Each structure stands twice: as C-alpha cells, then as structure tokens.
Structure 1
Amino acid sequence: NDPATDLRGTGLLGLLHLLYFILDSSTAATAKKVYQISQDEIQNFPFCLMSISMTRIALEVLREELLNKECNQRNQVMLVVNEFYAGTFFHLYQTWKKYHKTIIDTGYVIKAVTDYVKKNVKTVIQSMKEFQDQEETKSGVMALHING
C-alpha cells in the first residue's frame, strides 16, 4: 500500500535502478525478458520488489568493497554499480528460468544469487555484456532478413 516502505533499504537508488534497467537501451531487452518471466502463470514474481532486492545486493557488494577493483580500473562508480545491478538481476533471471523457480523459492534464490555475485563480480558484469552483445547480433541478423 505504501511504496515508500519498499524503498527503505535502498532509498532513491532502488527506484533509479529500476528506471535504468527498463529505460536504458543497453538493458531494456534484458528487462523485458525478466519482466516476461515475472508475469509467467507459474514462475511469476513481483518484478519491482525483486528489482529492489537486486539493488540491495548491489549496495551490499559496494559496501563490502567488492566492486572497488572494477570501479578503480574504469574510474567509474555509478556505471559499475548500475552494470553490476543489471548483471545481478540477469543472473537471477537465468537461475529462475533454468531451474523453474516459483515465488515459493524467492528467499533461497536471492540467497544463492547473493552468494554467487559476491564471489563473481567481474563475471556478473561480463555475462550481462555478453548476453547484450548476443541480443544485438540477433537483432541485426533479423533486420537483415526482414530488409533483405
């Protein structure tokens, strides 16, 4: 009933991450896939609340200084945190879809995702980029077929 209570743990960043995920051209296609599974008759989950959980994980990883190396190498903080958030949400999506998870599994999945992303920061970011590159390639091939 009160969206402000959902943002307590992440503040405005929780809302900004959600907007980044659905509106940024680099993540919108992934967000659409995540949203589609969140609306599945069996595998559904609350998309916005799950996004806030992914922001909470990203903040936790940032506070534990696990993103420092990546931030320092790229001389960026917000971009790295945003990409890590999106990669974390993507990892959740892959897990949810592959193992046919349902709302009942939420706590276990979030715990497993948290444990994985903390140990694989660079992989989480890289996997998301690789998926985005594959999606762009598919779109380009489809455009060639349609226009060709």
Structure 2
Amino acid sequence: MNYTLRKANDGDLDFLLSLRRITMDNYLLSDGVDISDKEHIFRIKYNFEDAQIIQVNNKNIGLFKASFISEKSQWYIFQIQILPSYQGFGIGRKLITDLCDKAKKDKLSVGLSVLKSNPAKNLYDALGFQVVGSDCSEYEMEYGA
C-alpha cells in the first residue's frame, strides 16, 4: 500500500488523540498505564517537532515519530500508530525497516519501547530488535550497532 508522510501540525491534535485512543487504550489499560486525555496529549506533544502524519490517498491514517538522540548516537521511535483498518498492509514494517536501514548505514542503532501487552512486539522481534531492558509495563528494545 502506498503512503506518504507529512509533518504534523497543531491542526492534527484531534486526529492524533483519537488515533492514540483507538490504537493504545486497551494496551495501556491492560498494563496499568494512565489513559487520561492529559497523559495522551503529553505523549502526543512530546518531540512533536519530529511527528509525521502517515497518509494514504490524502487521508490521515497514522503517526510516525522518530527522533535522533545524539547523546546515544541512536534513532528512537517514540510512536508509531496506524488506524486498525490500515494495519497489516506493511506500512509500519516499511517505516521501521527504512529507519533501521538508514541507521545501519550510518552505524547507528534504533531504539523503542513497547508495552508488554502490545502484539507489535512480535513485529519488532521479527525485524531483529532485541530486548535490552524492561519495567513493569514496557520492554525497551534496540536494533543494530
């Protein structure tokens, strides 16, 4: 499935809050993590300058937010969320593998965290990410370098 990315802006906040609720609330609840609007908005706005809206046929279908952390020489995927009706088409896999390929070329790693109840961990495992730490609700994972 073909998609495009565009820089997120403040006009996307309602979409991003709805997207986060649809894609994350069940996992967050399962792992005992706060699902208040305040917490969701905080997470959405964190590193917002790196947030990109995923679009298919000019329709907003997801969010990809990855930032370069210079202190760690690492790309870090802060959020990747795709509407359920667009999941399973390889969009998330392609975004992640493209970033991993770029990082590998530059001899950098890619990090992310995933809720323990989130089945996306299976994708990260399949792509070669390794668990490097955990807490009560999340795994910290890393690829490469």
Give the TM-score normalised by structure 1: 0.28
| Larger relative contact order (CA 8 Å, sep ≥ 6) | 1
> Which one has the bigger strand percentage?
2
Identify, as 1 or 2, the structure richer in helix. Answer: 1
